[in-house]
Amino acid sequence: MSSNSFGKIFKVTIFGESHGPMIGMVIDGCPAGVEIDEDFIQHELDRRRPGQSKITTQRQEEDRGQIVSGVFQGKTTGTPMAGIILNKDQRSNDYSHIAESFRPSHADFTYQEKYGHRDYRGGGRSSARETAARVFAGAIAKMVLNNFNIKILAYVSSVGDLEMKEDYLKVTEINRKKVESSIVRCPNEIMSKQMIALIESVQKKGDTIGGIISCVISGTPAGLGSPVFDKLHADLGKAMLSINAVKGFQYGAGFKGTRARGSEQNDLFELKKGIVKTKTNFSGGIQGGISNGMDITFQVAFKPVATIMQDQPTLNINSEKMTIKGKGRHDPCVLPRAVPIVEAMAALTLVDHLLRNRSSKL
C-alpha cells in the first residue's frame, strides 16, 4: 500500500532508487502564487549533498534539482509541482556483493521478506538517497513558510557522548551562520572541533557513530496542529521518525521532563507586548497538540550508520553463514548531512498544518 506520500493538503510524493536514473518528488497541493527561488533549492540540496566535506561519503553527486512542472513565470500555479534529480555517480558494481546477502541492521532482509524481490543496488529504495527528494520538497515548503515568517533551524547538538550544554538556540541569522560554518553543523565552535575529531577517529577504525539533532521553529502562529490523532508534535514526530537511522523523538521537556513535578514544569501564561506568551517553554511550543505561538523545539536521535568497514558475520538469502564488509562510499556519521533533512521534514509538516488550519473556523 502507498507509503511514499506525506501531508494531507500539501502532499509530497517521492520516488526513485539509489542507482536508478533519477530520484524525484511531486508536491500536490501547493498554493498558487508562491515565488520560487531555484538558487535556494540548490542551496538546500547542496547542504545535503554527498562529498561536501571530509567527514561525509565521497560519492560525488552534484544533485542538480530541476523543476519540471507546476511553476510558471517564477511562481507556483497551484497544480502539481514536480522536481527531479538525476543520479550520476552510481557505481552499481560496488553492490554486487549484497545481491544475495543481508547486511546487518540494514533493510536488505526486511525488504526481501516484504516484497520477495528487491533492487539491491545501493539499498535501492531503502537508501538514504531518497532524502534528497525530501530536501527538494522541503525547500519549496520553506518558501511557502517565508510568506508567514516561520523559520526553522536545526543543528547537531550531540555526537556520541559529546553533547552541547546550551539550551535550544534561537532562530537568528547569526546562529544559522554558526551552524553552517561548521562541517559537522554544530554551532558551538569548541564542541564542533571535538565532534569532527571524534568522527575522524571513528572513521579511521572503519566504524560509525550516532548523535542528536536539535531543531527550533520560530514564528509559528498559535493554532496549528489538530486535536486527537494529528497533534502537531505527533505529525512532527512521525516526520522525523521516517528519516533513515532515526531512533527517537522528543519535544519540549521530552524524556527528561518525565522526572519533574507538574508544579515545576507548567508553563505559566503572561502578557508580553499584548501577546499571550508563557514564561517558560517546557511545552516546546505545543499544548494539547496545537501550537501556542512560542518556539517549537524538538530533538531527534540518530543511530550510528549500519554500514561499517569491518568484517561482520551474516547470512545470505539461502540462510548460509558468510562474512560481509562494507564497500562503497559511506558516511561515518549521518548527522551533518541530516540537518537539512530534519529541517525539510519540519517545513513540510508546518506548511501542511498551516493550510489545514484554514478550515478550522467558519
Per CB under 8 A, contacts with a copy of itself among 222-241 are 222-223, 225-231, 233-235, 237-239, 241
- Least separation, in Å, of the C-beta of 277 and a copy of itself? 10
218, 173 in Cβ contact below 8 A? no
Q: Identify which of residues 174 and 221 has a Cβ nearer to a copy of itself in the complex.
A: 221
- Pairing between strand 211-218 and 246-251? unpaired
Q: From the CB of residue 337, how many other CB atoms can be counted at a distance below 10 Å?
A: 22
- Pairing between strand 162-163 and 11-16? unpaired
- Stretch of 48-56, 168-176, 188-196, 206-214 contacting a copy of itself, by CB under 8 A: 206-214
Q: Identify which of residues 55 and 181 has a Cβ nearer to a copy of itself in the complex.
A: 55
Cα-based distances in Å from 193 to 132, 185, 338? 27, 10, 18
Q: Does 137 bind a copy of itself (CB under 8 A)?
A: no
- Least separation, in Å, of the C-beta of 142 and a copy of itself? 14
| Candidate list 46, 52, 254, 327; residue touching a copy of itself; CB under 8 A | 254
Q: Identify which of residues 180 and 207 has a Cβ nearer to a copy of itself in the complex.
A: 207
- Least separation, in Å, of the C-beta of 20 and a copy of itself? 5
Cα 4 to Cα 344: distance, rounded to the nearest angstrom: 15
Distance of alpha carbon 54 from the chain centroid = 21
Q: Does 343 bind a copy of itself (CB under 8 A)?
A: no
| Candidate list 47, 48, 118, 129; residue touching a copy of itself; CB under 8 A | 118
Q: Does 13 bind a copy of itself (CB under 8 A)?
A: yes
| Candidate list 39, 117, 173, 273; residue touching a copy of itself; CB under 8 A | 117
Q: Does 92 bind a copy of itself (CB under 8 A)?
A: no
138-177 binders of a copy of itself (CB under 8 A): 144, 147, 158, 160-161
Q: Does 341 bind a copy of itself (CB under 8 A)?
A: no
Cα 205 to Cα 230: distance, rounded to the nearest angstrom: 43
Q: Does 305 bind a copy of itself (CB under 8 A)?
A: yes
Could you tell me which residues are beta bridge partners of residue 98? none
End-to-end Cα distance, the chain:
35
Q: Identify which of residues 165 and 173 has a Cβ nearer to a copy of itself in the complex.
A: 165
Q: Does 212 bind a copy of itself (CB under 8 A)?
A: yes
Rg over alpha carbons for the chain, rounded to the nearest Å, is 21
- Pairing between strand 162-163 and 75-76? unpaired
What nine digits make up the cell of 76?
A: 507556483
147, 99 in Cβ contact below 8 A? no
Amino acid at 242: S
Cα 209 to Cα 197: distance, rounded to the nearest angstrom: 12
- What binding mask, one character per residue, do residues 265-304 give for a copy of itself by CB under 8 A, x or -? xxxxxxx--x-x-x---xxx-xxxxxxxx-------xxxx
